[in-house]
Each structure stands twice: as C-alpha cells, then as structure tokens.
Structure 1
C-alpha cells in the first residue's frame, strides 16, 4: 500500500514538474542563468491574484462551487512566485560571492612575452 502511494506521488510530482507552466518557470529560475529573473518574476503573481479575485466575486454572486478550487490554485501559484523572488535573490548573492572567491583564488598566469619576428 505504501509502495503504491509512494510511486503514485512520485509520478504525480514528475508530471507536475515537467508539464505545469508555473513549475517549469520556477525550475528555469532555479538555474544559475535564471536566478536574475527571480525578482521580476514576482510580478507574475499579480495576474494570478487578479484571477483569484475574479473567481471569488463570481462565487459570491452565486457561481458554481468548483470555482473555489481555481481560487485555491491561483493563490497557491501566486504564493510560489512571491516566495521565489527573495529566495532567488539569496541564491544569486551566494552564487556571485562563490564566483568572486573562486576568481580570487585562481592562480595568476604569467603573461607570455610576445614573440619577436626574426
């Protein structure tokens, strides 16, 4: 039973990481090249919060109850983007410090003399 649940959760996680748009964007941000886009990506939370607000007002006006699931999904996605901004900034700072230390520790190669034309 536990093995089946473990396997199902693993497959679900793989599917979501591979095909869900927010997870694809967040995985791209977690790379070294993508860390600089973490803070601007926080702005993607705005459309998700707007969609959640629209769905909430539709529910309040007597809309179908399944819109509550969309509200939950929109809020969850917006929180992922909001949280990823500061986290990516911390990772970027740590990566730049690590790169600067590596540059300082790199051995200085002696400059070769230009060859004379003989």
Structure 2
C-alpha cells in the first residue's frame, strides 16, 4: 500500500513538473488560451511533420547501430507529434464553443442593460476579464 502511495505521489510530482517546464507542454498550454487558439492549427502543421521527421531520423540511426537511449527521444518525438495533431483536431470545436459562449454572454449582458438591471456578480467578473465589455459598462455608468 505504501509503495502505491509513493508511486502515485512521485508520478503526480513528475507530471506537474513536466506541465510547468516541458517546452511542448508550455506551447500546448499557450495554444489553448484565448490569444493562442488561432495559432493551434498552423503550429500543428509545422511541428507535427518536424517531429515525425526527427523521429524517423532517430529510428534510422538506431537501425544502423546507434546508442539505444536514442529510442527514448524517438518516442518523445512521436508523442509530441501526436499531442500537436490532437490539439489541432480539437481546436475548431473549442473555438466554436468559445465564440458561442462569448455571444451568449454578450446577449445576456445587453438584455440586462436594456432592462436597467445590474449584471449578476458572475457576469460582472467575466466582464472584468474581457476588456471590451468592461469598457462598455464603464461608459454606461459614467465611471
């Protein structure tokens, strides 16, 4: 039981470390943000063939009798190509959901402003995060 707990904690720490410091994980995290979502497909079109080419080159070196530890880097290249490809496939759906959510929020805020109601606190925090709607509410109240 203790070995299971130690293994679980160790894998959780390794995962959090890799999420914070591995370059491809940082890139994927940025590509999932609001500013980077438009760059997800072009990035995948560049990175995926590059990683596939690097993996192929490493495997050919391994076939010619290269050091066996290069297999780890070949698998890492394949995994990174898979991550970017999957991110590019998911991006259009995430973008559509984001735009629909933004559109729904704008109509909700517009209807509340037309009725003269104060927006709910949850909507207000969202407005403060998005600059344009926050500016519109500041112009309305005169602050």
**Superposed displacement of residue 104, structure 1:** 2.1
Q: Give the TM-score, by structure 1 length.
A: 0.84
Cα distance in 1, alignment partners of residues 24 and 91 from structure 2: 15
Gaps of 5+ in 1: 113-118
> Residues 62-97 of structure 1, C-alpha deviation per residue, up to 9 Å, x if partnerless?
212222111111100110001101212211110001
Q: What stretches of structure 1 move > 4 A for 4+ residues in a row?
A: none
Higher relative contact order (CA 8 A, sep 6+): 1
**Superposed displacement of residue 47, structure 1:** 1.4
Q: Which residue of 2 aligns with 1:38?
A: 40
Q: Pick from 23, 26, 42: which aligns with 1:24?
A: 26
Cα distance in 2, alignment partners of residues 34 and 51 from structure 1: 25
Identify which range, 61-70 or 88-97, moves more after superposition: 61-70
> Residues 19-75 of structure 1, C-alpha deviation per residue, up to 9 Å, x if partnerless?
110011111112222211211121211211111111111112221222211111110
**Superposed displacement of residue 106, structure 1:** 2.2
Q: Give the TM-score, by structure 2 length.
A: 0.71
Task: Verify: 1:97 aligned to 2:139, yes or no.
Answer: no
The two structures, once aligned, show a CA RMSD in angstroms of 1.7
Identify which range, 97-106 or 81-90, moves more after superposition: 97-106
Q: Which residue of 2 aligns with 1:84?
A: 87
Task: Verify: 1:53 aligned to 2:56, yes or no.
Answer: yes
Gaps of 5+ in 2: 115-139
Task: Verify: 1:13 aligned to 2:10, yes or no.
Answer: no
Task: Verify: 1:73 aligned to 2:45, yes or no.
Answer: no
Q: If each structure's helix is expressed as a fraction of its own residues, which one has the higher value?
A: 2
